Amino acid sequence: MLTLENMAALALHLGLIMYALFGGADFGGGIWTALASGPRAREQRDSLFLAIGPVWETNHVWLIFMVVTLFTAFPKGFSIIFTALLVPFVIALIGINFRGAAFAFRHFGKEIGQDVPLVARTFEIASILTPFTLGMAVTAIASGRIILADDQVQLTLWGWVSPFTLVGGLVGMAVCAYLTPIYMTVRTVGALRDDFRRRGMAAALALGVITTMAVPVAMADAPLFAQRLLRSWPLVFVSLAVLSGLTTQMLLWRRQYLAAQIVAAGTVVLTISGFSAALYPDLIIGQLTIAAAAAPPPTLKAFLTVLPLGALILVPSLVYLYWTFRGEPDPHAPPGKRNR
């Protein structure tokens, strides 16, 4: 039913998707910077650095959007989630800040032709830790471990850590590692493009293995979520995500890079949609429904009225930004090694 609270929940869902598609690829750049290897390891790192540079701050606008949507449209849910999951959110926030500072210092070092000590390692560690922690936090709301008694959270400081949430953290990392090399195949040429192609195929396989592993883990550790995941609509999304992932592999094998990028993004959209469909109609599974967490109707109406007006400014601006920095050849790179 298209109620006010469901429309606001859909906006929250779309924010999560956009953060995964753009912020996730940003984090993935740090993951693959850490995993760069082979005779072109330095070129891999440099091409990732150039791709991230113009957009890394912008990508986090979707995280801000989700937080604002949550405390505006679902204030009760915001209070409970940020109380129960304070520790992972603080860890993620520290990771985002350290990562941003490290990236800025690395850029400064490049400008003056000197390496700043520990900057690269800080950037890489924060890029791995942050999506892992955020993945754990997101899956914690579906784990059944957040219990409410008289609207009070019944959860120990580290109660959000469980086999299911640990797998959720791995899924968060795998999504980021999956998107980045596939995005990079349309920005690079020659042997460097082949490097990212192989890494994209490996990451797709890893994501498939981890998401498959998540189902039996959920059945053992988060049974209510597993039961809902195997219902009709969530199962449709899961099945389509599997098909989309296999299609991405085929497109990479055939070197159809632009199509692979689009289908890979679709795989992530379908994966997240399956998660959200299994969670629905709850905001916190088994404890707090979307309707019970929602703000009063006048607040929801105001939020949903302002939302499209803000989108009229934000979306064209982001499209222009990403189009401007869509991956033209690097004018400073030697001939034959220029990124596209």
**Residue 278 pLDDT:** 95
Backbone φ, ψ for residue 284 (5° rounding): -120, 115
Question: Rounded mean pLDDT of the chain?
Answer: 89
d(CA 154, CA 147) in angstroms, rounded, equals: 5
Q: 0.75 cut: is pTM over it?
A: yes
Position 198 confidence tier, pLDDT thresholds 50, 70, 90: very high
Task: Say yes or no to pLDDT of 336 above 50.
Answer: no
The Cα–Cα gap between 39 and 49 comes to: 18
Assess whether pLDDT exceeds 70 at residue 265. Answer: yes
318 versus 56: the higher-pLDDT residue is 318
Question: What phi and psi, each to the nearest 5 degrees, are found at residue 152?
Answer: -105, 140
Residue 101 has pLDDT above 90, yes or no: no
Reply yes or no on whether the pLDDT at 256 is more than 80. yes
The b/e string for 194-215 (b: 16+ C-beta within 10 A; e otherwise) is ebbbebbbebbeebbebbeebe
The pLDDT tens digits for 154-167 are 777 788 999 999 99
Whether 203 has a pLDDT exceeding 80, the answer reads yes
- Kindly report, residue by residue over 213-227, the tens digit of the pLDDT: 999 999 999 999 999
**Three-state secondary-structure class, residue 317:** helix
The H or E element containing residue 312 is helix 297-324
The DSSP secondary structure of 176-207, one letter per residue, reads: HHHHHHHHHTTT--HHHHHHHHHHHHHHHHHH
Exposed, middle or buried: residue 28 (CB in 10 Å: 0-12, 13-18, 19+)? buried
Q: Is the pLDDT of residue 88 over 70?
A: yes
- pLDDT (average), residues 43-72: 86
- Give the model's pLDDT for residue 164: 96
Measure the CA–CA gap between 209 and 168, rounded to whole angstroms.
13
Confidence class for position 331, pLDDT limits 50, 70, 90? very low
Predicted local confidence at residue 324, as pLDDT:
78
Mean pLDDT, residues 246-272 taken together? 96
Give yes or no for a cis peptide into 281 (omega within 30° of 0). Answer: yes
CA dist., res. 209 & res. 214, Å (int):
9
59 versus 332: the higher-pLDDT residue is: 59
Average the pLDDT over 171-196 and give the result. 94
Please tell me the predicted confidence (pLDDT) of residue 284: 95
Q: Quote the pLDDT of residue 117.
A: 65
Residue 315 has a pLDDT of: 87
- What is the per-residue pLDDT for 340? 39
pLDDT at position 322, please? 78
